[in-house]
Amino acid sequence: MHTIQSQSVEDKHELSEWIIVAIDLWKIYRLGKIEYPALRGVNMRIRRGEFVAIVGPSGSGKSTLLNLFGALDRPTRGKVIIDGVEISALKGDELAKLRNKKLGFVFQTFNLIPYMSALDNVEVPMIASGLSPKERRTRAEELLALVGLKGFERNRPNELSGGQQQRVAIARALANDPQIILADEPTGNLDSKSADEVIEVLHNLNNRGVTIIMVTHNLNLIKYCHRVLWMKDGLVEKEVEQNVK
């Protein structure tokens, strides 16, 4: 494992408090001869157990940033440190392991497998985990119950509402007990009632200690977020702390 070198006890304390650290993060997309800097030197620290919202205009770099946090893409320059590990230093298989064990992803379009039941969808990430089929089943049932979907285990995605599908996707993201959930506009395709349900589920998870970073356009959905980061033109323009009950 490549951990960042700590020179003092204070540094070690820092490592434990901050679960994600971004240092001078650049992402320059190249389209032929044209270069487009989607991120222009982002510095950011996310506390363990924090619920953070990232907001800002379309094209400001929110998804790009989340993809770098999730090791789905590599920065052009700068570092991402997840739980003390600099992820650019990791090899492909180590990166896959980190993605599978520490991170859970939730996307706007749910990305469920259409011909599988809710239960089977939640089990997919557990297949490589070493759990027996019976243990996988039990865990998937527990996770569906946790997101309020007891009784819907056998439904396929097209037999569920949008909000229910997203809750299946959240249960799937929790399959390997991640410390961090990265959610890119998780309510973007939902009506306001379903969006509220999804936010309540995320809030409950956060209360159980999961760190959540959520990109959203909807400022009605940030009431449980401890901090709101406003992005503009590839940088964090401002940061607002919120009092969450």
Ligand X SMILES: Nc1ncnc2c1ncn2[C@@H]1O[C@H](COP(=O)(O)OP(=O)(O)OP(=O)(O)O)[C@@H](O)[C@H]1O
Residues interacting with Mg ion, by CB under 5 A? Answer: 63
Size of interface with ligand X, in residues (CB under 6 A): 11
- Minimum CB distance to ligand X, residue 37 (Å): 8
Comparison of 29 and 115: residue with beta carbon closer to ligand X: 29
Would you say 9 or 31 has its CB closer to ligand X? 31
60 lies in the binding site for ligand X (CB under 6 A): yes
Check binding of 8 to ligand X (CB under 6 A). no
Binder among 59, 84, 148, 162 for ligand X (CB under 6 A)? 59
Distance from C-alpha of 61 to C-alpha of 70, rounded to nearest angstrom: 14
Q: Is 63 in the site for ligand X (CB under 6 A)?
A: yes
Instruction: For residue 211, list its beta bridge partners.
Output: 180
80 forms part of the interface with ligand X (CB under 6 A): no
CB of 188 to Mg ion, least distance (A): 9
| Closer residue to ligand X, CB minimum distance, 185 or 197 | 185
Smallest gap from Cβ 37 to Mg ion, in A, equals 16
Within a 10 A sphere around the Cβ of 1, how many other Cβ atoms? Answer: 8
Closest-CA residue to 110 (of 100, 121, 96): 121
Total residues found in the chain within this entry? 245
> Among 236, 204, 201, which residue's Cα sits nearest to residue 53?
236
By the rule CB under 6 A, 68 interacts with ligand X = no
Q: Which of 225, 161, 156, 169 is nearest to 193 (CA)?
A: 161
Span near ligand X by CB under 6 A; candidates 56-64, 131-139, 149-157, 168-176: 56-64
The Cα 180–Cα 50 span in angstroms is 10
Residues 161-200 that bind ligand X (CB under 6 A): none
Tell me the longest C-alpha to C-alpha distance in the chain: 55
Among 61, 75, 125, 186, binds ligand X (CB under 6 A): 61
Distance set, CA 53 to CA 35, 70, 229 (Å):
28, 16, 6
CA separation for the pair 227, 241 (Å, rounded): 4
Is residue 139 within the footprint of ligand X (CB under 6 A)?
no
Binding residues vs ligand X (CB under 6 A): 29, 31, 36, 38, 58-64
